[in-house]
Amino acid sequence: MRKLQLFSAHGGLETDDLRRKGHPSLVEGIAFALLRLSMLLVIAAIFFIFFDIFSKGIGIISWEFITAMPRRGMTEGGIWPAVLGTVYITLITAAASVPVGVFAAIYLNEYARKNIFTRIIRLSIRNLAGVPSIVYGLFGVALFVRALELGTSLLSAGLTLGLLTLPVTITASEEALKAVPDSFREGALALGATKWQAIRTNVIPSALPGIITGMILGISRAAGETAPILFTGAAFYLASLPSSLSSRFMALPYHLFIMSTQHHSIEKVRPIAYGTALVLIGLVVTMNMSAIILRAHYRKKMRG
């Protein structure tokens, strides 16, 4: 066999032939099989849940189901108050958490010095993302409902969800800002831009797709939360639609919880529960899809 001399001039690697030693191909095969299996498990679980809800819920979905008031102790009629409540609460959540989240991220990433203090702040924010949502709910009761005397209302619940979303929005915005190359900042500063000008006209536009995606994902998660709104404003049943920020409201996730565990005739309202679940999933999926589409749109625009 001809000797292959690789790098031998430098006294480096020499090898006799190119045959593989041992069984790396077998190990690789097993590893790939494991990875593939994990992926299939995830997809199967998602598919099963979605298929189950879809098949049991689609029957009841109609324009009327979405836009009508519930009737006869919620055993008939639609889920309009819950849909509207969730839309309202989502808007309040966004209004509360987007500006604060983005500004906090800008401060942390662009202005704050990198020292122990900011490291502790960052660590705390990461930890807040892991705090159970019921804790946020009880905190919301203590702060917004009681201390600030906002009562059980749309505003209290929206602000509570805003707090819950804040760690996600800050972290996502900071990651997006971090991904903007330093050369964009230095380039602008070297032209005599002030720090804020550089951030406003050069850094934020580049980070915007990432920021928007993070916002929508955070808010869509909040839209499906039950525990934080449980004590802060969500109602079991209301005969009328919310009329102001201080009104109580119905919401899809809480409605779903009631229809599947608390209602006096659970068997009878099961289709309504599945229909509610389907509408909620549809809402969240729509928000997530719009995040993906927006990001793709901005990416394309950036590349020009």
Partner 1 sequence: METSSVIQVKKLNLYYGKFQALKDVNMEIGKQEVTALIGPSGCGKSTFLRTLNRLNDLIDSVQIEGDVSIDGNNIYDKSCDVVALRKKVGMVFQKPNPFPKTIYENVAYGPRVHGVKERKKLNAIVEKSLREAALWEEVKDDLSRSALRLSGGQQQRLCIARVLAVGPDVVLMDEPTSALDPIATQKIEDLIRELKEKFTIVIVTHNMQQAARVSDSTAFFLNGEVLEMGQTEIMFTRPLDQRTEDYITGKFG
3-state secondary structure of 131: coil
Residue nearer to partner 1 on the CB measure, 50 or 196:
196
Residue 156 binds partner 1 (CB under 8 A):
no
Whole-number Å distance between alpha carbons of 82 and 212: 26
**Quick one: which segment of 9-17, 58-66, 199-207, 208-216 binds partner 1 (CB under 8 A)?**
199-207
Residue 202 binds partner 1 (CB under 8 A):
yes
Binding residue (CB under 8 A) for partner 1 from 75, 184, 241, 260? 184
Residue nearer to partner 1 on the CB measure, 82 or 108:
108
**Shortest approach of partner 1 to residue 174 CB, angstroms?**
18
Residue nearer to partner 1 on the CB measure, 73 or 181:
181
Q: Which residues, 6+ apart, have CB-to-CB distance to 82 below 8 Å?
A: 250, 251, 252, 254, 255, 276
| DSSP letter string, 223-291 | HT--HHHHTTTB-S--SS---STTS-B--HHHHHHIIIII-TTHHHHHHHHHHHHHHHHHHHHHHHHHH
Residue nearer to partner 1 on the CB measure, 129 or 193:
193
- 206 with 180: CB under 8 angstroms? yes
Residue 113 binds partner 1 (CB under 8 A):
yes
Please identify which residue in the block is written with the tokens 């009737």: 71
Please identify which residue in the block is written with the tokens 């990461």: 126
**Quick one: which segment of 67-75, 87-95, 202-210, 269-277 binds partner 1 (CB under 8 A)?**
202-210
**Shortest approach of partner 1 to residue 7 CB, angstroms?**
24
Residue nearer to partner 1 on the CB measure, 24 or 192:
192
Binding residue (CB under 8 A) for partner 1 from 41, 49, 95, 302? 302
Nearest to 219 by CA among 53, 88, 128: 88
Binding residue (CB under 8 A) for partner 1 from 25, 183, 240, 243? 183
Whole-number Å distance between alpha carbons of 164 and 181: 30
Residue 108 binds partner 1 (CB under 8 A):
no
- 18 with 4: CB under 8 angstroms? yes
Residue 190 binds partner 1 (CB under 8 A):
yes
Q: What angle do CA 129, 131, 133 make, to 5 degrees?
A: 100
Residue 72 binds partner 1 (CB under 8 A):
no
Whole-number Å distance between alpha carbons of 165 and 215: 9
Residue 120 binds partner 1 (CB under 8 A):
no
Residue 179 binds partner 1 (CB under 8 A):
no
**Shortest approach of partner 1 to residue 294 CB, angstroms?**
17
Residue 304 binds partner 1 (CB under 8 A):
yes
Whole-number Å distance between alpha carbons of 129 and 92: 19
# chain residues binding partner 1, by CB under 8 A = 23
Q: Which residues bind partner 1 (CB under 8 A)?
A: 113-114, 181, 183-194, 197, 201-202, 205-206, 302-304
